[in-house]
Structure 1
């Protein structure tokens, strides 16, 4: 550990030399490398956490640049994978940290593999389905996790510790993943609220990782930067009726169909995930698809330009269909060019 790099942080008494050493030994996973995730990853990597796994299924587009602070116009022009681009930028910022980029969609199949070997899980996602997966893994494996959400000008955050605080199901019930929530597609989002929510998430994470447990807020915090509102409520204890943390029923991790289409936040893009797992040979797929339009590919993804419609295909068979709004059309295009 290069102490000169972290000297100002070490001077902060609650952290000190001992806390900095604990940080250097800590492992975190950040789920989602969008607006929240880029701030989370930047602050934790620069703080000197020992290992950071960056997980994201998406690619960089121009509309991301307004609030996703790790990316630039070249990344957007090339349609780079967010996790890969973020890892590259952060390795330049701090070579002390081991950074792993994971270009995958978090599902019941891979959630435990990707999230159960870290000290803290941080939520940088934009949907409750993934948050319930995180919550189930966290409770099952007794791993603290940081919840954060930001949309429009408001945001919410909480730091959950299995066995010490309620879990996400205790607070919000078991059906929040069924839709009906504001998204950046419907109400927009401004960058300041993202930075504030992510900074609160990192602060609680630093408290935990450096052993300052008495400083943890144990509260659910809500803020609206436009309306100048900031309030928090005590989370209390776990509910005896909770199916997750009390009865240990991890329904989000149960086997389920993977043949899903999902509308992506903020643009005309549909994700198609095949119902059975397979590995796509991108080099062979490039040759096959080049007859239809311009193809660019690397070891992680392939992009096919069909004019008004573009297809981004990942090595796990997942695809983003850009330029459409109908899920049925996305499935049809996937079947035509990739094969179901």
Structure 2
């Protein structure tokens, strides 16, 4: 039985109250990405009592994550725990009353559609625009609000996108320049992450309790280090002929030709290959002839000639130590045949 006393201070807040708290507990949030933004958003919404949270992430915990990615520990690094699994484990200890579902997959048009359709809102916590464009098209196809967020260095931006009302991500990109740099290239500080998370989760709470009149309709851009904070009215950016949110949408990013199949992970000296699913036990046995193998229920990894290969349960493979898709595929096929 739920102990509502844990939400006492939140229910005292006039904007939420008992009725709003009941809405939170009956709603479902999808968080796509569980790095800096995703782990912090998940923790804040878990503590707030959102009844159902699904976390999708394709990666596992590494040392560089610990500086800014909440919920993860050194033990998660040693165990190569997938981020979604590590986050869910910690979140269940914070609030055992809610349903937290970790999903270790690479978001594609096919597998992401199911999760977007069943959620009430979507929070963008990704690190690439390929996935954001998928979210954008799926959110408009299924009429789900989603909250864009990004940060790099000491800067960040966020915008709440409501199908049928606001400009979509494609519309925004036509009028607003986005960050060109990445965290891997110029770094990022924790406070910038938390500022984006603060805006995203506040907007999420408003949407979940149906406080539509409180939704921030402006694009927020800030630079904490240089003391800049700006809100921009982008309402005129919405285009009637937009292929994602216009009068006759075709959702181009959901088509086969609009997707990335094999990709270099931004700034990480890593290539991702989406291939056939192999039993992890079989891979563990096969990889043993190449070197020392690390394994857990979600992935198997081995170091070969200054490269590390990490095979995931869903058929993806990370080839660390190269930005060459050709070299990565060559090594991959050398092992799996």
- TM range, normalised to the smaller chain? over 0.9
Q: Which residue is 2:296 aligned to?
A: 298
Structure with the larger helix share: 2
Q: Which residue is 2:221 aligned to?
A: 222
Q: In structure 2, how many angstroms separate the alpha carbons of the residues matched to 1:43 and 1:259? A: 32
Query: What secondary structure is seen at the aligned counterpart in 1 of 2:225?
Result: coil
Q: In structure 2, how many angstroms separate the alpha carbons of the residues matched to 1:202 and 1:208? A: 10
Q: Which residue is 1:267 aligned to?
A: 268
How far residue 181 of structure 1 moved from its aligned partner, in angstroms, is 2.3
Q: In structure 1, how many angstroms separate the alpha carbons of the residues matched to 2:204 and 2:42? A: 12
Q: In structure 1, how many angstroms separate the alpha carbons of the residues matched to 2:292 and 2:257? A: 36
The residue correspondences of 1:183-222 to structure 2 (distance < 5 A) are 183-222=182-221
Higher mean displacement: 60-69 or 236-245: 236-245
Q: In structure 2, how many angstroms separate the alpha carbons of the residues matched to 1:77 and 1:292? A: 20
Query: What secondary structure is seen at the aligned counterpart in 2 of 1:197?
Result: helix
Higher mean displacement: 152-161 or 234-243: 234-243
Q: In structure 2, how many angstroms separate the alpha carbons of the residues matched to 1:191 and 1:265? A: 20
Q: Which residue is 2:286 aligned to?
A: 288
Query: What secondary structure is seen at the aligned counterpart in 2 of 1:116?
Result: helix
Q: Point out where structure 1 has 5 or more consecutive residues left out of the alignment.
A: none
Deviations 1:156-184 (A, max 9, x none): 1001110121111111149x9xx992111
Change (3 A) 1:26 1:259: closer
Q: In structure 2, how many angstroms separate the alpha carbons of the residues matched to 1:258 and 1:20? A: 39
Q: Given that residues 139 and 146 in structure 2 are in contact (C-alpha distance below 8 angstroms), is that contact kept between their aligned partners in structure 1? A: yes
Change (3 A) 1:163 1:296: same
Q: In structure 2, how many angstroms separate the alpha carbons of the residues matched to 1:89 and 1:171? A: 36
Query: What secondary structure is seen at the aligned counterpart in 1 of 2:14?
Result: coil
Higher mean displacement: 81-90 or 291-300: 291-300
Q: In structure 2, how many angstroms separate the alpha carbons of the residues matched to 1:243 and 1:117? A: 23
TM-score (norm 2): 0.94
Q: Which residue is 2:239 aligned to?
A: 239
How far residue 329 of structure 1 moved from its aligned partner, in angstroms, is 1.6
Change (3 A) 1:265 1:299: same
How far residue 258 of structure 1 moved from its aligned partner, in angstroms, is 7.0
Q: Which residue is 1:43 aligned to?
A: 44
Q: In structure 1, how many angstroms separate the alpha carbons of the residues matched to 2:326 and 2:224? A: 38
| 1:327 counterpart (308, 319, 325) | 325
Q: Given that residues 60 and 83 in structure 2 are in contact (C-alpha distance below 8 angstroms), is that contact kept between their aligned partners in structure 1? A: yes
How far residue 140 of structure 1 moved from its aligned partner, in angstroms, is 0.6
Higher mean displacement: 218-227 or 243-252: 243-252
Higher mean displacement: 56-65 or 106-115: 106-115
Q: In structure 2, how many angstroms separate the alpha carbons of the residues matched to 1:258 and 1:284? A: 30
Alignment of 1:124 onto 2:163? no
How far residue 213 of structure 1 moved from its aligned partner, in angstroms, is 1.1
Q: Given that residues 259 and 272 in structure 1 are in contact (C-alpha distance below 8 angstroms), is that contact kept between their aligned partners in structure 2? A: no
Query: What secondary structure is seen at the aligned counterpart in 2 of 1:208?
Result: helix
Q: Which residue is 2:107 aligned to?
A: 106
Change (3 A) 1:201 1:257: closer
Change (3 A) 1:173 1:110: farther
How far residue 257 of structure 1 moved from its aligned partner, in angstroms, is 8.3
TM-score (norm 1): 0.93
Q: Which residue is 2:253 aligned to?
A: 252
How far residue 114 of structure 1 moved from its aligned partner, in angstroms, is 2.2
Task: Figure out how many residues of one structure are paired with residues of the other and give that number.
Answer: 334
Q: Point out where structure 2 has 5 or more consecutive residues left out of the alignment.
A: none
Q: Given that residues 130 and 259 in structure 2 are in contact (C-alpha distance below 8 angstroms), is that contact kept between their aligned partners in structure 1? A: no
Q: Which residue is 2:335 aligned to?
A: 337
Q: In structure 2, how many angstroms separate the alpha carbons of the residues matched to 1:62 and 1:261? A: 25
Query: What secondary structure is seen at the aligned counterpart in 2 of 1:6?
Result: helix
**Cα root mean square deviation, aligned:** 2.0
